[in-house]
Amino acid sequence: MDFKETDAIELPEQNNRPYSGYLEYKSGKTPATFAAQATPDQVNCGFSYYDKDRNTRHSLTAFRAIIVGQAFGVAGVTKLGDRFTNYYSNLVADTRTDPMRVFIRGINFPQYSGLYKDIKPALPQGVGFQHYLCVYIPELDDMKLISLTMALSEHIRSSIADSASRALGKNVPPSRVNMFGLCELSSAYYMLKFTGGYVKKNKENAIWNNNGEMYFPPELQVKTINGDEQLKYLDAQSERFGNWLFSDIARNVDAYNADRKNNTGQQAAPAHVEPATPATLATPAASNAASNAMPNAKQVMMQAGWTEPTIEDKFPIVEPIQESDLPF
């Protein structure tokens, strides 16, 4: 299908988004021949973010990330010779009902439009499903988005299972942890506490045994924030993100329906889509109702081509903590 740039709706930059940017993660992938003597300082690993105002990139080592929301999208990079092409989409709350509009950076009309299941077969290699966490970082007094790579997701999953095992006094396997349910605690928020250290692991997220490629995931403790005043503050941040997300979804639904009408985008789902409404938000106070707006974990993971995990009705309990120096 031919692209018709004049028919596409160009969405203006939204300045009211509650997060300031992305917290990028590098796994520190190291070849086997160098792994034994490698140190974190010698490889590209850990978290960093870009400061647009100062045009600089900053590393974060020891910090806390409190999960206040989640979203889904499409992103990736393709390479042809020396040319790299960056793809990205709008964020959605439910891949089954919220349409995605996939763009190439620098081009203001979508390359693909539709529900994820419909556009997935047409996406280029290297471009695919993304799971994002919206986190509040006390050290920055700011919210950022983290894109969960497979390696980072598995590292967080195993860290939650370790913390749950200590809290319950019995083994909790990582397969019990539903990574799509991190916003569904009834009266607390999960906090990822990065100590500033790193561990050596293999591709399967096990401790590196001097064989094969090695990775440097950060040392991580998982706690829960459940103080009354802290919950009030975090509920407000979660609500800010939820309100913005649903507003942006409605905005992109209008643009998507215009795409369909004008045949813009290589692949468009056949039906008109009605915008979602933020009837409930993913705060602990509304967690049961909010789960209706969240994607079915099994379906999303199957759409993404991942192995189906074991999903339990209850999320594992982890160790509670009262952080005395949180700025709220």
Half-sphere exposure of 113 (CA within 13 A, CB side): 25
Q: In whole angstroms, what is the distance from residue 220 CA to residue 156 CA?
A: 8
The first and second tokens of residue 126, run together, are 């290297």
- What is the model's pTM? 0.78
Q: Which burial class, exposed, middle or buried, applies to 140 when counting CB atoms under 10 A from its CB (0-12, 13-18, 19+)?
A: middle
DSSP structure string for 91-117: -BS-TTTS-EEEEETT-SS-SEEE-HH
Taking only the tens of pLDDT, the chain with its 328 residues reads: 222 233 333 333 455 899 999 999 998 889 988 988 888 888 888 999 998 888 999 999 999 999 999 999 999 999 988 899 999 999 999 999 999 999 999 998 899 999 999 999 999 999 999 999 999 999 999 999 999 998 899 999 999 988 888 888 888 888 888 899 898 887 889 999 999 999 898 888 888 988 889 999 999 999 888 878 888 899 999 999 999 999 999 999 999 988 887 775 554 443 445 544 433 334 444 443 333 343 443 344 344 443 333 323 233 445 444 444 444 3
